[in-house]
Chain A
Amino acid sequence: MSRLSRRGVLRGSLSSMAAGSLARPFIANAAAKTATVWWTQGFIPEEDASFRQIVAEYEKATGNTIDYSLVPFLPLTQKIVSALTSGDVPDVMEYNVADLALVPQYAWTDKLTDLTEIVEIEKAQYHPTAYLATQCYNNVTKKRGAYFAPYKVFVSPFHIWNSLVEKAGYRMADAPTTWDAFWDFFKPMQKKLRDKGMRGVYALGLQATTTGPADGNDTFHAFMIAYGGNDIVTPDGAPHLDDPRVKEAVTKALTYITTAFKDGYVPPGALSWTDADDNNAFHAKQMIVDLDGTISTELALYHKKEQYDDVATMGLPNDNLGRPVPAQLGVGGVFVPKGARNLEVAEDFIKYLIQPKVVNGYLKEGLGRFLPAMPDLVKTDPFWLDPKDPHRSAYTRAALLGPTVPNHPVYNPGYAEANAQQVWGVAAADVIREGMTPQAAAEKALKRIGEILAKYPITAS
């Protein structure tokens, strides 16, 4: 029995006419509906204002309503986990580190909607690394697919106090360009600064911590990749923990970090630094160099011109053989859980969001803390490579114009669990506090990773 009433039909046809007249290529004709969206709260109010505007423009253009919540990063993680566990999910979720945590694991257990179609639309625009980062493995369908739609990327550059370097009698222009030499460059500065009365200053802010979501792992991985250990997990998801090159890289990374620590060049508190502590120490000028994700360190000083100009932002130096070291590219984006009630609107909204010009506008309001995943944007919009802002341009170059590799959890979600287990932070602590040799600690860590990855077997695809 048909339940169509004349009024219903009239209403339906009017709205689809309206939608049709305002339609743009990427919008399918959908009757006005609502979608719930969870978005990460920005670091500054302008970001949130920009997001609100994007939503308003979308609503005006399509007649759909977006019921959004701006949630700070840590609670958002907890909300996403709670939602996906209990089954009460919103339609769209956005996450800063979608390639690093949560998405690979939930894709594995088939809790997310495959967004391959949407991502393919913009594929040509995406940086190849960013595109590669979306290909998560689904253990139920035994296939890879794009489980999140990326739009922003970031890397971990160096943050260096120029004034401290100069106070110690050195110049950044003289800094070596190979890995070990670059790090060693800062070590003698510590003594010189202490001789000048700076009692508690340290040279290197190496985050050998097990607290906080990512910093300890990021630091370690930077070293590991510089020493040639990037193939610890290959894009097909297979672990190569017995590969001698990987073993050597891992051991060397642990050795360098822990030796610097034991020699007193790293603040001892680094072992239990939380996410903010390295920034706290850096801002208080307690260390010369910090390796930390995004340029939030500098942007926090945005309104203090003198200090802002004092910090030098640098990409990674070459490895010890003079070859460029690829940076790990973090990719953030939006994803749709399975069970979302308004799939159509969700996908529609995402298609709108990942248009380059929308992305560009949004990220510019955030002062470039995150970079667009589309390299063409930074080449055409002078904002990103503006020579007047050395921080942003160095950061942009490192992320989008230099060599990059995706994070390992995309290849195999088990690696996300290994990261969460802070295997490398524990290894560093084993050497520093328990007196293990770096070789032994490396073996132990690799063994642990092996156990974790064994839970995530990936058949070749």
Chain B
Amino acid sequence: MTAPSIDGKLVGRRPNYRLRRSLTEAAALALAVVVLIWTLVPIYNIVIVALEPHGDVFTNDIWPANPSLESFWIVVTEGYWYLEHFWHQFGNSLYVGVATVILTLVIGSLASFSIGRIRIRYGWLVSNAALLTYVIPASFLAIPFYRIMHIYGLSNNLWSVIAAEVTFATPYAIFIFQQYGVSIPIELDEAARIDGASPIQIYFRIYLPLMAPALVAVGTYALLLAWNEYLYQFLLLSSKSSMTVPVALAQFLNSDEAPWNYMMATAIVYALPPVAIYYAFRGRMTAGLVMGGVKG
């Protein structure tokens, strides 16, 4: 939006328009600096521990005396015994993450389509029941989960973790889909129905494409949940070959002496994919939403 002007000079409805604008800009800049520092200080600590050649965590410096990238090299080349299977475990995490995203999106969107678009009679019961998942916190459900996974024959199996993650992500997915679904007028569905489309066609041709931004948002949430969650992963996975990276990271806490630089380097390497994915999809998400708001 351009500021109104007469003869090229800025004219505001209020006096000192230009001054107010620069003050706002300055305030925004100050806020940005505060946000930057607030966000980065703990991450900075992670980085400097990763760069510390002896993995010393307690020093009096604010930058390591002899920074070294050796720990990253060790992580990438699986050069330490806790990291022996790092890439395999990374693959496990990826597998769990992708499966969680797909299942959450599918199950969640199907359910919210049924509840919100087809408007099945007692649909609200299902979405409310979904909420019950969150009444009992995840940390408490760990022991019962451990038991039922054994009963279902899924001990030490990645699918037990996938099931757990999908269970915790789907209610949230259903809510988000309900929320976003509200802004897609039901007339579209009606029109399609009049044209003879079956629900499944409406689901694929109308609902999913219009829900794209919500799908991306929920998918990102589900991915990060599965990627970084660790309580269930270490309870349900015991062997090095089935472990995911968060569990591998927790191994470092096993000993009271671990090379913390390797641990933090692992954390940094592990955090890169979600950041990359978020960066890749953020554009699409924003574009989808902004497009919706701009008048043609």
Contact = CB atoms under 8 A, between A and B. Distances in A.
Interface of A: 38, 41, 43-45, 69-75, 78-79, 81-83, 85-88, 199-200, 275-276, 278-281, 283-284, 286, 292, 296-297, 299-300
A244 to B, nearest CB: 37
Contacts of A87: 147
B258 A276 contact: yes
Of A72, A73, A85, A199, the most chain B CB neighbours within 10 A belong to A72
Nearest to A286: B58
A296 B60 contact: no
Interface in B45-60: 54, 56-60
B251 A72 contact: yes
B39 interface: no
Interface string B133-153: 000000000111011001100
Contacts of B57: 280, 284
Contacts of B258: 276
Contact of B150 (A86, A199, A292): A86
B238 interface: yes
Interface string B81-121: 10010000000000000000000000000000000000000
B195 interface: no
B250 interface: yes
Contact of A297 (B247, B250, B253, B257): B257
A276 B254 CA distance: 9
A69 B254 contact: no
A296 B58 contact: no
B238 A276 contact: no
A284 B250 CA distance: 22
Given A88-B150, A276-B258, A300-B255, 12 more contacts: A43-B254, A69-B239, A72-B251, A82-B146, A82-B235, A83-B146, A86-B143, A86-B147, A199-B60, A280-B56, A284-B56, A292-B256
A280 B255 contact: no
Contacts of A88: 146-147, 150-151
Interface of B: 54, 56-60, 81, 84, 142-144, 146-147, 150-151, 156, 234-235, 238-240, 247, 250-251, 253-258, 260
B238 to A, nearest CB: 4
Nearest to A40: B254
A297 to B, nearest CB: 7
A236 to B, nearest CB: 34
Nearest to A278: B256
Contacts of B143: 81-82, 85-86
Contacts of A200: 60
Contacts of B255: 43, 276, 296, 300
A46 to B, nearest CB: 9
Q: Which 10 A-B pairs have the closest CB atoms?
A: A72-B254, A86-B147, A300-B257, A45-B81, A69-B238, A276-B256, A88-B150, A284-B58, A82-B146, A280-B57
Contact of B250 (A75, A82, A278, A283): A75
A82 B257 contact: no
Contacts of B81: 44-45
Nearest to A215: B256
B192 to A, nearest CB: 49
A314 B134 CA distance: 52
A144 B57 CA distance: 46
Contacts, number: 85
Contacts of B235: 75, 78-79, 82
A41 B151 CA distance: 26
A446 B53 CA distance: 46
A9 B240 CA distance: 39
Given A82-B143, A86-B146, A296 B254 contact: no
Nearest to B259: A300
Contacts of B144: 86
Nearest to B155: A88
Contact of A279 (B146, B234, B256): B256
13 contacts: A38-B238, A69-B239, A73-B254, A75-B254, A82-B143, A86-B147, A276-B256, A276-B257, A281-B58, A283-B56, A283-B257, A284-B59, A296-B257
Contact of B238 (A79, A281, A292): A79
A354 B59 CA distance: 43
Given A280-B57, A296-B255, A75 B234 contact: yes
A86 B235 CA distance: 13
A72 to B, nearest CB: 3
B146 A296 contact: no
Contacts of A43: 254-255, 257
Contacts of A82: 142-143, 146-147, 235
A279 B56 contact: no
A79 B255 CA distance: 17
A262 B252 CA distance: 33
A276 B253 contact: yes
B251 A41 contact: yes
Contacts of B56: 280, 283-284
B170 to A, nearest CB: 24
A124 B143 CA distance: 40
Most A Cβ at <10 Å: residue of B238, B239, B247, B258: B238
Nearest to A81: B143
B257 A74 contact: no
Contacts of B239: 69-70
Contacts of B240: 70
Nearest to B80: A45
Contacts of A79: 146, 235, 238
B250 to A, nearest CB: 7
Given A82-B146, A281-B58, A71 B238 contact: yes
Nearest to A85: B143
B253 A74 contact: yes
Nearest to B148: A86
